Amino acid sequence: MSVIGLARKDVLDISRSRMVWGLTGVFTLFSVLGVSLFALLGVEEASAIRAAEAIAFPSILLVPLAAIVVGYMAVVGERRSGNLRLLLGFPVSRGAVVAGKVVARTVVVAGSIAVAFAVAGGVGFALYGGFSVLRYAGFALATVGLGVAFVGLAVGISASVRSRGKALALAVGAYFLLVLFWQLIAGGAYYAVTGTVPGVEVPAWYLVLERLSPSMAYQVLVESALGAPVQASIFSIRPPDAMTATAAEQLGGGPVPVSLSTSASALVLALWSVVPAAVGYWRFRASDL
């Protein structure tokens, strides 16, 4: 059975899950509420792009969570049920199993994001009139990239462990580390090196460290797509002005290195979608079923 065949079967199985439909509904609801926020509050200068900014922060929180929920049982669940031994009794490689799980979960998460953004985009158009389709499409594509990154991470975790408990613990830990607390960790590293907390202006290495998190890389891509700053973290020890400053402003002026470009952030998301899954496959390949 090919990777595509395995992925097709997995998509059909997942599509029957109420959990997946529930996650799609919740994300769509939050997206519509975010887009509608300015209209509900009666903000006179509201626009479709400003409304799109309002759903960036919920996306940072909910998309990784949805991807982890969809992916963390992908392989270990098959192992626990005994289906994995049956599946590998056919001419199917372990690599094909992991790749098929990644593809299937990616399709499901990307589909959920597409539904949510399509509905929210329609509501935004109805409320605020015309908006840049290219900017909104770039925003949606960046959100899909965030989801794919966490799918790769979740499936990699699922393939590397033997029990549901370990998979859940590692997945939850990864969410807290990479989504909620990464800026605190980066700020702690800055304090360990310099003896001070980071301000608005910081060295380039600190910004690179911040953007190694998929959520922070996503922030860069969304800001590039929408042409406006967005909030990416609940917890940060940096001043509020730092969150709205450009990379050049945070570096104190001058040219911005390639490592801080939008292409570098896109590469970070791509690496998160591939490297954890590859590590998970390496561990899975050597494990005893």
Tens digits of per-residue pLDDT, 77-97?
888 877 777 777 777 788 888
**What is the value of pTM for the model shown?**
0.91
* Confidence (pLDDT) at 172: 94
At 130 the pLDDT is: 66
Token pair recorded at residue 47: 């626009």
Regions of the chain short of the pLDDT cut 70: 1, 38-49, 130-131, 231-234, 289
pLDDT at 262: 92
Q: What is each CA distance from 221 to 24, 186, 230, 266, in whole angstroms?
A: 23, 20, 10, 7
Q: What is the pLDDT of residue 108?
A: 92
- DSSP states of 87-122: HHTSS--HHHHHHHHHHHHHHHHHHHHHHHHHHHHH
CA dist 7 → 88, 93, 98 (Å) = 15, 14, 10
CA atoms of 227 and 81, how far apart (whole Å): 48
Q: Are 280 and 156 in contact (CB under 8 A)?
A: yes
| Residue 278: predicted pLDDT | 95
pLDDT of residue 165: 92
CA–CA separation, 276 and 114 (whole Å): 24
Task: Tell me how crowded residue 22 is: count the other CB atoms within 10 A of its CB.
Answer: 12
Burial 153-184 (b: 16+ CB within 10 A, else e): bbbbbbbbbeeeeebbebbeebbeebbbbbbe
Amino acid at 82: G
